[in-house]
Amino acid sequence: MAKVKYENVTKRFGNFTAVKDFNLEIEDHEFLCLVGPSGCGKSTTLRMLAGLDIITEGTIKIGEKIVNEVEPKDRSIAMVFQSYALYPHYNVFDNLAFGLRAKSKKSGKRLLQLLFLSLYILIIAGLYGIGQLLNLILLGLGNTIFIAGVVSFFVTIVAYSEIRKEIREKLISIIGNKSKSIQEYIATERDIEEKVNNTAKLLELEEQLYKKPKQLSGGQRQRVALGRAIIRNPTVFLLDEPLSNLDAKLRVQMRAELQRLSKKLGVTSIYVTHDQIEAMTLGHRIAVMNEGILQQVGTPDEVYLSPVNKFVAGFIGSPSMNFVNGKIEEKENSLTFVSDVLEYKIPERYYVLWKYVNKEVILGIRPEHIQVNTAGSTDNRYKVTIGVSEPIGSDTFIYIDFPKPVIEKYVYIDFPKEFTMIVKLEGISTLRVDEEVEVTFSTEQIHFFDKDSELRIIP
Ligand code: ATP
């Protein structure tokens, strides 16, 4: 187990900078999710740690050791990809054992194979002799070769399949003691068998051990891919969108399994995904990236409740936060956010916005923080029309249309997107399309962002 530290890491492909001045420390035993839209540099960040991409600038440490120049195979890292990358002609047992065998001594195996081959030749020759003898006694000399061949063939098959294990064990005990490399090989094989069985048990693959990948379901294949990484007992575990090939139901199931597994193993893990729900549910902490730049690192709650900027606020949360462009105006000794869509009387806790009087800001409100037809204060209530209603069983998403502003007697035809907001209501809503309703925003959950920097204005 080890900490991982990125220090001022940059990766350029020619003139294109894929990762810019990346700084991040992942604690020992931590499960960190690296999340961001497609092409933001997540995989490149992971690949640099694995040694598959060369770092242009900066350093990466595993534990206390700088690994920039260390070969991938010597980094004690295991990686699981979106494509399971299993060997199709090997069964589950051999797929799991592959990485371990690659490390084990080859000379002992070759010697043992040679000994078995010699033994089988001896057996066949012996049986052939017996067959010939039988033929002499029972049938005279006719068809000698044919009958002896058939008899020795069948006897060999039966003998091989029935007593293979016993012969092998016996031989091993006789010859193995004489050869150090055979002894080492056998010890390794036994160790591998134990590790494969333990891993199969951990991942509930015991019943599948002798099946080929094509005989497995998607979830089982992904478990084998995970098993292949786990079995090597890595210091750091890297997962690059490992669940994206699975259907939605299986993904949710595997997500829960991964959570249990990571708790059990306690290996420092970095999990790359573009799915923010996966990141929120899996990660101890989430690192949000955009355009090669790390935007924010925090626990799922921190990132959701206190996003550092508009990008993080919009990326984390489903459906996305609603945004409205406007400016701050002073009205009757208090502050009001004014826009074409709505006016919002600013709560006192946002006194910091006095600095923004007559300046442009962006108001942000999450779909789950908009209330429909609730009693309460007379401030900040908006009459809107329901444009679309999407019941999804546990929740209903409704799209509310704010009244179109009239400019010089003409009504906007294509009014900007921000005139529509999405609202998340619990359960199945009885609200109907074209119905007029009144909405309010949860005062505690309203956000403001600086228009230029897009940083969140902290109240
Ligand atoms: P996705 O979620 O789609 O896998 P990602 O966030 O993992 O995306 P990366 O694969 O890290 O993104 O790629 C980051 C950027 O670097 C992309 O614009 C990509 O086109 C570019 N890139 C990646 N590898 C190379 C390469 N070998 N040569 C040139 N550009 C590359």
Residue 171 pLDDT exceeds 70: no
DSSP state of 123: H
Q: What is the longest distance spanned by two Cα atoms in the chain?
A: 124
Report the distance separating Cα 112 and Cα 224, nearest Å.
29
**Structure confidence at residue 18 (pLDDT):** 97
Q: Categorize the per-residue pLDDT at 174 as very low, low, confident or very high, splitting at 50, 70 and 90.
A: low
Which residue CA neighbors atom 9 of ligand 1 most closely? 41
Helix (H) or strand (E) holding 9: strand 4-13
Which residue CA neighbors atom 18 of ligand 1 most closely? 39
Phi and psi (nearest 5°) for 448?
-125, 145
Q: Categorize the per-residue pLDDT at 27 as very low, low, confident or very high, splitting at 50, 70 and 90.
A: very high
Residue spans of the domains in the chain: they are 4-88+219-297, 100-202, 322-450
**Is residue 15 within 6 Å of ligand 1 at its C-beta?**
no
Q: Token pair 């020759």 is at which residue? A: 125
**Is residue 440 within 6 Å of ligand 1 at its C-beta?**
no
Phi and psi (nearest 5°) for 12?
-115, 140
Tell me the CA–centroid distance for residue 39 and ligand 1, in Å.
5
Write the burial class of residue 348 (CB in 10 Å: 0-12 exposed, 13-18 middle, 19+ buried).
exposed
Q: Helices in 140-212 by DSSP H: which ranges?
A: 144-175, 180-202
Pocket perturbation via mutation, ligand 1, pick of 33, 38, 40 by most ligand atoms within 8 A of CB: 40
**Is residue 358 within 6 Å of ligand 1 at its C-beta?**
no
DSSP assignments along 350-405, one per residue:
GGGGGGGBTSEEEEEE-GGGEEES----STT-EEEEEEEEEE-SSEEEEEEEPPPP
**Structure confidence at residue 408 (pLDDT):** 53
| pLDDT digit string, tens, across residues 34-90 | 999 999 999 999 999 999 999 999 999 999 999 999 999 888 898 888 777 788 899
- Provide the whole-model pTM: 0.80
> Does residue 63 contact residue 3 with C-beta atoms inside 8 Å?
yes
**Structure confidence at residue 138 (pLDDT):** 67
Report the distance separating Cα 416 and Cα 404, nearest Å.
10
Tokens of 123: 């057996």
Report the distance separating Cα 341 and Cα 60, nearest Å.
48
Q: Categorize the per-residue pLDDT at 415 as very low, low, confident or very high, splitting at 50, 70 and 90.
A: low
> Does residue 93 contact residue 41 with C-beta atoms inside 8 Å?
no
Name the residue among 259, 291, 295 with its Cα closest to residue 278: 259
| CATH topology for the 4-88+219-297 domain | Rossmann fold (3.40.50)
Name the residue among 328, 284, 272, 287 with its Cα closest to residue 44: 272
Q: Categorize the per-residue pLDDT at 103 as very low, low, confident or very high, splitting at 50, 70 and 90.
A: low
| pLDDT digit string, tens, across residues 341-355 | 899 999 888 889 999
Mean pLDDT on 113-131: 72
Report the distance separating Cα 85 and Cα 105, nearest Å.
24
Q: Categorize the per-residue pLDDT at 306 as very low, low, confident or very high, splitting at 50, 70 and 90.
A: very high
Tell me the CA–centroid distance for residue 448 and ligand 1, in Å.
32
Report the distance separating Cα 315 and Cα 448, nearest Å.
16
Class of domain 322-450: mainly beta
**Is residue 274 within 6 Å of ligand 1 at its C-beta?**
yes
Q: Strands (DSSP E) along 257-300, which ranges?
A: 268-273, 285-290, 293-298
Name the residue among 321, 310, 288 with its Cα closest to residue 24: 288
Write the burial class of residue 374 (CB in 10 Å: 0-12 exposed, 13-18 middle, 19+ buried).
exposed
Tell me the CA–centroid distance for residue 18 and ligand 1, in Å.
7
Q: Which residues partner with 324 through β-bridges?
A: 363
End-to-end Cα separation, the chain, in angstroms: 40
> Does residue 273 contact residue 35 with C-beta atoms inside 8 Å?
yes
Q: Categorize the per-residue pLDDT at 321 as very low, low, confident or very high, splitting at 50, 70 and 90.
A: very high
More confident residue, 253 or 376: 253
Residue 299 pLDDT exceeds 80: yes
Tell me the CA–centroid distance for residue 292 and ligand 1, in Å.
9
Q: Which long-range contacts (CB under 8 A, 24 or more apart) does 257-263 make?
A: 257/223, 258/226, 258/282, 261/202, 261/203, 261/226, 261/230, 262/31
Helix (H) or strand (E) holding 94: helix 92-103
